[in-house]
Amino acid sequence: MPRKAHERGPAEEGLRALGDQIDEVRTTRPMANEHRLPALGDRIDSVSTRHRSRRRNGKPRWSLRRKIVVAITILVTSAVAIVGIGYAYVRYQFDQVRKAPCHACVHVAAGKPYNLLVIGSDSRAGNTGQAASSFGTASAIGGQRSDTIKIFRIDPVAGTARVLSIPRDTYVTTSGLSPSTGLDGPEKINAAFNNGPEALIETIQNTFGISISHWIVIDFDGVIDSVKALGGIKLDFRYPVRDDNDGVNESGLAVTQTGCQELNGAQVLALSRSRYYEYFADGEWQIDPSYDLGRILRQNVIIEAMIEKAKSTYNPLTLQSLVDSVKRNIVIDNKLTLGTLYDLIARYHAFSARSLQTWSLPTVGQSGTPAGDVELVNTEPPNDYVDTIAQFLGGPAAAAATPPLDQYGYPIAVPTTTTNTTNPQTTPPGRATAQPPAPSSLPPYDPSLC
């Protein structure tokens, strides 16, 4: 029969009595080794804690702090590895770009402003969407003309960029060409590119006193491929436009719609090359009276549009395609290093193309010269060519060894600088200071950025 809850068995009564005896002894006299019992308890607790801090395999568990440090180390190591791989890839791509020496290039100190010459070549050799295979050394890029001549003024510290365009038909004395070429002496400046960039650089430096530190040559296919890689560019047309030379569309330009239009590579090339530009207004086709000078302005707009499109493109495949198109279709001087390009990217990543200031060397058309139809530099203030160059450079140019030519092929008397630039000593005593020439502005019939 089961016991009731209040009933106790003999064993239970005995244990209780034993407990009472122990309590009685502890209250009357200390127990043997009682002082060691707390220390024994602390050791037991310590062992228990160590066992809890270890995994089942006996290895110690990581603290939260240690986990965070290790995680950060892994992330940093991975980032360094990724950057290293990325740099190696960029280095590989950069090494594929063709390079040539530049003995005439002027060394520039770190952080100082310098001039970069960009040459648009009219070579059509191998015109299949890729540059000609022979286009790659100073001796192999001859027998052609420079369709576009632009000087970029780069100020790394200020983070500014300016562009000066030189009309291809500007009448000058060429430098650096052998008499055997038949192009030494009075010629259009684009003839100096016959044997490559070196002679053109010497001609620019000797004629206008503008030092060149680096150069880039890009052919027509480079324009097409670059725009194609970007997925086209957008320009705003207020009028329909075309190219028309007595009924012949030489560049292929034909934009029939107005407003913001997306242009592909072939259309951009046609726009940049059009020298017989016409726009439709008041019920008939109107002629752009500026011809080659107007073409320069439109080329500047194209450059701005391409800069804006490239900055807004984050698709890795698009950027890869752009890199591929650039490396196929350009040649650079061998002093233009990857480090210089990285520095430009770091300083100009936030640069807005709309803030790009552009100038065009002021010239006047002239027929019947020994070199045919040419452009003579303007020597009349306030917009004479010397003032324009001084405004572009932010100070006076160097003295010209071979000044530009007049209509008879003789060197002109170089005007005195009157523009008040960043160097106030450029204004000679006794002569009135002219207004600085303004950067080139677009006429309403030319396209603009959307």
Domain extents in the chain:
45-96, 105-449
Cα 56 to Cα 46: distance, rounded to the nearest angstrom? 18
CATH topology of domain 105-449: Aminopeptidase (3.40.630)
Give yes or no for a contact between 251 and 273, defined as CB atoms under 8 angstroms apart.
yes
Contacts of 366 (CB under 8 A, 6+ apart): 171, 373, 374, 375, 376, 407
pLDDT above 60 for 131: no
Residue 344 burial (CB count, 10 A): 16
Q: Return the exposure string of 167-198: e unless at least 16 CB atoms fall within 10 Å of the residue's CB, then b.
A: bbbbbbbbbbbeeebebbbbbbbbbbbbbbbb
Least confident of 163-172, 226-235, 361-370: 226-235
What single-letter amino acid sits at 438? Answer: A
Q: For residue range 139-179, list pLDDT tens digits in order.
A: 444 456 677 899 999 988 888 888 999 999 999 999 999 99
Q: Between vectors from CA 382 to CA 376 and to CA 436, what angle results, nearest 5°?
A: 115
- pLDDT for 427: 31
119 close to 149: Cβ distance less than 8 angstroms: yes
303 — pLDDT class (breaks 50, 70, 90): confident
The most confident of the ranges 13-27, 91-105, 411-425 is: 91-105
Distance of CA 182 to CAs 80, 177, 195, 351, Å? 56, 9, 12, 44
Q: What does the pLDDT read at residue 38?
A: 61
Asked whether residue 433 carries a pLDDT value surpassing 50, the answer given is no
Task: Supply the mean pLDDT for the chain.
Answer: 77
For the chain, percent of residues with pLDDT exceeding 90: 36
